[in-house]
Amino acid sequence: MQTPWSVLMRTAPTLLIALILACLPAIGCGSGGPAPATGGGTPTTPAPRPALLAGITDTTDAVFSHINMDTLGVDPRTGMGTLSARRIEGMAYDTNANVLYATCTANDLLFTIDRATGYATPVGPLGFNEVRGLAFDPGTNTLYGVDDQSHHLIRIDTTTGRGTAVSAHILPWIAGLAFDTTTNTLYASSTVGTGQLLEIDTATGVEGLVGSFPAGTLMHALAYAGGFLYGIDRGAQNLVRISPATASVLVLGSVGTSQAISLAWDDDTSTLWTCPGLLASVSFATGALTYGDALTARLRGLAYDRNTGRLYGTDGDSTLFRFDSADAHPVRVGPLGTQATGLAFDPATSTLYGTNAAGQLLTIDTATGAATVRGATGFFFLDGLAFDPNAGLLYAYDTRNDELISVNPATAAGTSIGVSATNVYVDGLAFDPATNTLYGHDDLADRFVTISTASGATTPLGPAFRDYVPALAFDEAANAVVGWDQNSAHLVRFDSAGVASGHGALGFNSVQCLAYDGTRDVFYGLDWLGALVRIDPDTGEGTATVQTAPAVFSVQCLAFDPTTDLLYCVSGTDLVSIEPDTGVVTTIGPTGFAPAIEGLAFDPDSTTLYGVSERNLVIVDTLSGTATDLGFILGLADAGTLRGLAWINDTVGLVATSATGAYVQIESTGPSGILIGSVDAGAIGALAYRPAED
């Protein structure tokens, strides 16, 4: 059956080739001869811009993705920034390709992990929301996982990340998977009752009981090696050896953390891996973990070395890291020996300074990470540190007294400068030597500030939308403040106006809506704090230029009207408009429709604002806000609740995603719909379309 969508997808490449051929005479090819040169140079013709269907993953860590309009496959354009995947709950090693796979429940993506560096590279959305255990069958080249939300055994495509349910059989609370290559048996650990070891039929997903674990066992990870199963008992924090025949358990030693909830045996290097925030190897003899070089999400201090262009950072585990550039993964340098709460660098002496919660000034060896106490500052609970090369002083912030202090680098003696205004909590500091400006981040007001080095008074700068940035540094090469956003676990940039941008990623959590503005050639999203985020169509990097005012929170639908240059969204039950350049919000009126509208799309030809609510199509009046029900969308029996919505063109009409992973084409008359694809169930929660441009 041919649909307008399939016709469009089949003819699009042909139309593009025809367009390119039509342009050839103008660029010096074909019978038309060369075009006349202008300005002494060779003229160029921009390549035609292809159409782009984009989406936002419906996960905690929002990811902007391109969607292939032929296959509907998802291509994440924003990776994990400078951080590895944050919550690894499934790991498996592919002995055929020598690849370590992992699943992350913070963003529901499949990753590959570089065993040398510990950093994760996204493969693609799993399409299931809580994939925990992983196991690999080398005989059939199959990666298995278990979705803890739907309780299904799934097979995972290692090229796309997409999971497919093996059967409709429901499994009981599986936390770990392992494949026995000797007997070709898939084992699983269940947390039902006292905990159970199960065998799972890979064809049907049906389980059989091997035996029960000792009372109180929480077996959250499994791996197979050398005739035995190995597991991590999360409750007791122990590595254990498990008999595949009886489920009897032998404790081997303590792993020392309750966050080790994944396990994989690497045949290539004979290493047992886990990932409690960092990739770590596990000792069979003692259970002890040896951590790799990757960075956790708990960065507390940042400093920029203008002599080398490097950034230094320290995490909550008292480890020094080095970023060889602001776009690079950090490299582990070594343990500090104390927990540093601030970092700063003196380029004249090439000295890296730090402070700790005891109020001591530290000097830190950038080759080993070892910290040496220079002396007591006389102040406590110091957060944030910055070096002023013009005055030869360090600045620190005493969070107990909301007080800015100066510190003599030679003696460590601290001097009070002044107390900030009440209800101010400055966490990170950075100093711009060219303008003599001290910057900070006020975590109570969720905004970037400047701080007077004469009085300690703070002045808000830029919109309020970064709610926890505990580390700052001034990058002189980029002429920007670099910060660590603890919630999204990414480096972010602040310009001199306080405007924040994601660094190598979307950079804003919980963006649940998407719209395309052809006038400015940007996609828009709204984060949960009400920041209007502009998203680069090619890189997926987000920049929050304005805060909506009054702020709109937890918005799930967004559309752009080019005729009025306004964005529309539904906040609560009201239709509101947003001015893209200022963020000014105007309440238009109640939609009068329930359940809530979860998708919006604007047809510029008919100037119609469409919306979807569960399985109903509505038209929303942009003058009054009133939603008119066009009726239940027919022909979509298995599609589930509709969410994302995009207007393509007059030929295709509307396209939507659903909670079951269906992509549907909607005809407004009827209304009726047709399934055009089904991929990545539950992965895409918002859609927007950028048309092709000649």
Please determine, for residue 5, whether its predicted confidence score (pLDDT) is greater than 90.
Answer: no
| Minimum mean pLDDT range among 138-147, 298-307, 546-555 | 546-555
List b or e across 38-62, with b for residues whose CB sees 16 or more CB atoms inside 10 angstroms: eeeeeeeeeeeeebbbbbbbbbbbb
H-type alpha helices, 403-553: none
Q: What is the pLDDT of residues 6-37, one digit of tens each?
A: 545 444 433 333 332 333 333 233 333 333 33
| pLDDT reported for residue 416 | 96
Q: What is the mean pLDDT of residues 240-252?
A: 95
pLDDT at residue 623 greater than cutoff 80 = yes
Confidence of residue 60 (pLDDT cuts 50, 70, 90): low
Residue carrying structure tokens 């045996």: 265
Please state the rounded mean pLDDT for residues 577-582.
Answer: 94
Least confident of 199-208, 280-289, 495-504: 495-504
Identity (one letter) of the amino acid at 9?
Answer: M
- For 313: left if phi > 0, alpha if psi spans -120 to 50, otherwise beta; the answer is beta
Burial (CB < 10 A; 0-12, 13-18, 19+), residue 492, is buried
Q: What local confidence, expressed as pLDDT, does residue 628 receive? A: 96
Give the mean model confidence (pLDDT) for residues 319-329: 76
| Averaged pLDDT for residues 629-652 | 87
Taking only the tens place, the pLDDT of each residue in 473-518 is: 999 888 889 888 776 667 788 888 877 777 656 767 678 899 999 9
The whole model's pTM is what?
Answer: 0.67
Strand spans (E) along 540-582: 542-547, 558-561, 566-571, 574-578
Question: For residue 185, what are the CA distances in angstroms to 134, 179, 239?
Answer: 14, 6, 22
Determine which helix (DSSP H) or strand (DSSP E) holds 4, and give its type and residue range.
Answer: helix 4-23
CA 23 to chain centre: 40
Q: Give residue 673's identity as a one-letter amino acid code.
A: G
Q: For all residues of the chain together, what is the average pLDDT?
A: 84
Confidence band for 3, pLDDT divided at 50, 70 and 90:
low
Which neighbouring-strand residues pair with 629?
618
Peptide bond into 36 cis (omega under 30): no
How large a percentage of the chain has pLDDT more than 90?
Answer: 47
Q: Report the length, in residues, of the chain.
A: 694
Are 102 and 94 in contact, with CB atoms under 8 Å apart?
A: no
pLDDT for position 17:
31
Helix (H, G, I), strand (E, B) or coil at 300: strand
* Cβ atoms within 10 Å, residue 352: 25
HSE at residue 456, side-chain half, CA atoms within 13 A, is 22
Contact 382, 359 (CB under 8 A): yes
Cα separation, 99 vs 113, whole angstroms: 8
Query: What average pLDDT does the segment 162-170 reach?
Result: 85
- For residues 197 and 242, the answer to whether their CB atoms sit within 8 Å is yes
pLDDT digits (tens, 9 = 90+) for 372-424: 999 999 998 898 999 999 999 999 999 888 899 999 999 999 999 998 766 78
- Other Cβ atoms less than 10 A from the Cβ of 291: the count is 17
Residue 261 has pLDDT above 70, yes or no: yes
What is residue 14's predicted lDDT score, i.e. its pLDDT? Answer: 36
- The three-class DSSP label of residue 650 is coil
Starting at the edge strand found earlier in the chain, the sheet holding 616-620 runs 599-603, 608-613, 616-620, 627-632
Please determine, for residue 82, whether its predicted confidence score (pLDDT) is greater than 50: no
Query: Which residue do the tokens 């990932």 mark?
Result: 275
Least confident range of 323-332, 340-349, 423-432, 632-641: 323-332
Task: Write down the pLDDT at residue 107.
Answer: 72
Provide, rounded to the nearest whole percent, the portion of the chain with pLDDT above 70. 85
Instruction: Give the CA diameter of the chain.
Output: 84
